[in-house]
Structure 1
Amino acid sequence: WEANHIWIIILIVILWIAFPHYYNILVLALHIPLTLVLLGITLRGVAFVFRYYDAYKDSSQILYDWMFKTSSLVTPIFLGLTMGGVVSGDIINPSQMENHSFLEVYIHSWFNIFSILTGFFYAALCAFLASIFLIGEVDDTSKSIYMRKASIATIVVVSLGFITLAYGYLSGIAFVVDFISNIWSISAILISGILLFPLWNSIKSGRRIISRALAGIQIFFILFAATITHFPNILFTTTGSISIYEQPVHDSVMNVLGISLLVGGVLIIPGLFHLLKLFKLIKLLER
């Protein structure tokens, strides 16, 4: 969870410093789902700590367990709602917000059918990835359970992905129409689908590292397909798409940011691997 906090902070800082115009529109129009995402992440982390490390095991564990499960489901849904809002084309440009109602500016931009479908797709995607990672952490008795959950999540991901794209195409959403007609996007999705076969083979063979790597590569190709179509114009408003490079900051700011990220990477990445190794050691000692 500490690693998740680091990546989120880095992402927010990069958007805020390097792409202020894009950040301003994104945070202003989608501040409600983004706030709920951060709240869900916080509640999930808190629930995990109190559920797992609480000194006393009593009825409060039921509350922590419920909080953990609920936030684990809600967080990726609102993350998907945010992504749906970014590409659905319903965001009101800040220069025109005063001519629209609160619902049009702050609700309809992300709470629509396409965004809702995207939210459920994100949740299924997270469930798929989580089940793949958990397969390598459980004993043989529980392994079959998570393999079944992973297979169900795979079916749900593929089904929701198809339904979301079909609805977006039939609704004339520019992002989806261009996505389907872009050779790079379709190729990335096909590669992601083909990787399912070696993924399941590696799971059945008990090759944990390979199965996790393949699952991660699949997610990468899905995200690549979602961004390559219109990059750098990856924010859609009612008046057209907006480039992430629009109204860029001074070159000196970008240079300082780049150097800071390189230095930070050198310091953070070794610490991250040490953190993972430490938690693995704790689990072994607890057994």
Structure 2
Amino acid sequence: MLYVVLLFVVVSFFLYVLLGGADFGAGTLELFSAPDHKKSIKKTVYSVMGPVWEANHIWIIILIVILWIAFPDFYNIIIIYMHIPLTLILLGITLRGVAFVFRHYDAVKDNSQHLYDRMFEFSCLVTPIFLGMTFGALLNGDIQTLEQAPNADFYDLYVYPWLQPFPILTGFFFSTLCVFLAATFLIGEAQDYEKRMYMRKARVAIIAVVFFGFITIGTGYVQGNEFSMEFVTNPLAIGAVTLSGILLYPLWRVIQIGRVIWSRFLAGLQVLLILFAAIGTHFPNLIITKQGPVSLLDHAAPEKVMDVLGISLIIGGALIIPGLIHLLKSFRMIKVLEERD
């Protein structure tokens, strides 16, 4: 059952980055748009996010629960030593949800709507940055546990690891990736000039993703980051990044001609390749401390716990996934057979 549990970890992580990331990117896209575009973007974002914006969080909840039950030591390091950025992430998700609801359902329409708009936009910008910073900190090699450094102060243990150049750049990289996903997905929800607007924004986002990707890995390499050093020499990582780069041209082309299904498929494939390069090629050592890597599989739960968890995930998946598919189809968000020109 270990492989079933790991499969759900991978799928949950990928779907949250893909779907939840697109949600965050939509708010960031609205924030950095011209005033005359904000109204149309707000309307489009609401029509797309409205039915599923809470459902997308199910994937990160599943991921957290799996880590907590199946890989407790790995989970403890994340929760304890990354508790500040994680708290800010939760605050951002909460503020985004509150703002999303009140800016559409508040009975009183006054200047407070502008406050809700700014709250929604900035929380969508900041939250993925802290998500990326947390991930970057786990791989940067600056984490030290109390057992390893019993005399370390609060700053060294809980602040310094995630407030470094590599984690910060990783945060900006993930934020631009979210904007890229949002702009690409929204092409299929827009009409006429709005579609051309999203196409332009998607192309700019592609450039930003490539820029921050190279800057992030380059910074880690210059600093002697173990993850970055291995990343640029690992054949699988190099292959995934190379393939991702090759796919930029067809992705650019389908965005230019507005091919909805192909642009979404290639965008999802780009994300999958990036995650594979960053995580798959370094699995299971997904945390790097000052004393060395920490494996996800270190001190995993007993086999009986894995069996129960695996069976529960299979049953839960069989119940939840059809319902989510029905939800998406009901709101015409699955358009595999519907190519819009």
Question: Is the TM-score greater than 0.5?
Answer: yes
**CA offset digits 1:185-206 (Å, max 9, x no partner):** 0110111121122222222333
> Which of 130, 139, 149 is residue 191 of structure 2 equivalent to?
139
Determine the C-alpha separation between the residues in 1 that align with 2:104 and 2:250.
34
**Within the alignment, does 1:36 sit opposite 2:88 as a pair?**
yes
Query: Once the 2 structures are TM-superposed, how far is the Cα of residue 222 of structure 1 from its aligned partner?
Result: 0.1
Partner of 1:79: 131
State whether structure 2 residue 59 is matched by structure 1 residue 7.
yes
Amino acid at match of 1:142: E
Aligned residue number for residue 268 of structure 1: 320
AA partner of residue 156 (structure 2): E
What is the deviation of 1:148?
1.4
Pairing 1:112–2:164 present: yes
Q: How does 1:238-277 map to 2 (within 5 A)?
A: 238-277=290-329
Match of 1:53 in 2: 105
Task: State the 1:230 CA deviation.
Answer: 2.1
1:160-179 matches, cutoff 5 A:
160-179=212-231
Q: 1:208 aligns with which of 260, 276, 280?
A: 260
* CA 168–105 in structure 1, closer or farther in 2 if over 3 Å, else same: same
Q: After TM superposition, which residue ranges in structure 1, 4 or more long, deviate above 6 angstroms?
A: none
Q: TM-score, normalised by structure 2?
A: 0.80
Amino acid corresponding to residue 119 of structure 2 in structure 1:
M
Partners of 2:146 and 2:152 within 8 A in 1: no
Aligned-partner Cα distance in 2 for 1:250–1:94: 25
Report whether the alignment pairs 1:196 with 2:280.
no
Aligned partners of 1:73 and 1:123 also within 8 Å: yes
Shift of 1:139: 1.0
Q: Map residues 93-112 of structure 1 onto 2, 5 A cutoff.
A: 93-112=145-164
Q: In the alignment, is the contact (CA less than 8 A) between 1:25 and 1:94 conserved in 2?
A: no
Counterpart selection for 1:16 from 68, 86, 90: 68
Q: Across the two proteins, how many residue pairs are aligned to each other?
A: 281
**CA offset digits 1:26-61 (Å, max 9, x no partner):** 111001111111221221122112212333332111
Give me the CA root mean square deviation: 1.4
CA distance in 1, matches of 2:91, 2:122: 12
Identity rate of aligned residues, in percent?
59
Cα deviation for residue 2 of structure 1 reads 2.0
Alpha-carbon distance, 1:280 to partner: 4.1
The aligned counterpart of 2:142 is 90
TM-score of the two chains, using structure 1 as the length reference = 0.94
User: What is the rounded CA distance, in whole Å, between the counterparts of 1:222 and 1:21 in structure 2?
Assistant: 26
Q: Distance in 2 between matches of 1:211 and 1:53?
A: 32
Matching of residue 232 in structure 1 with residue 284 in structure 2:
yes
How far apart, CA to CA, are the structure 1 residues paired with 2:301 and 2:253? Answer: 48
Structure with the bigger RCO (C-alpha within 8 Å, sep 6+) is 2
Aligned to 1:157: 209
Q: Which amino acid aligns with 2:151?
A: N
Aligned-pair CA distance for 1:274: 2.1
Contact 1:77 1:119 in 2 (8 A): yes
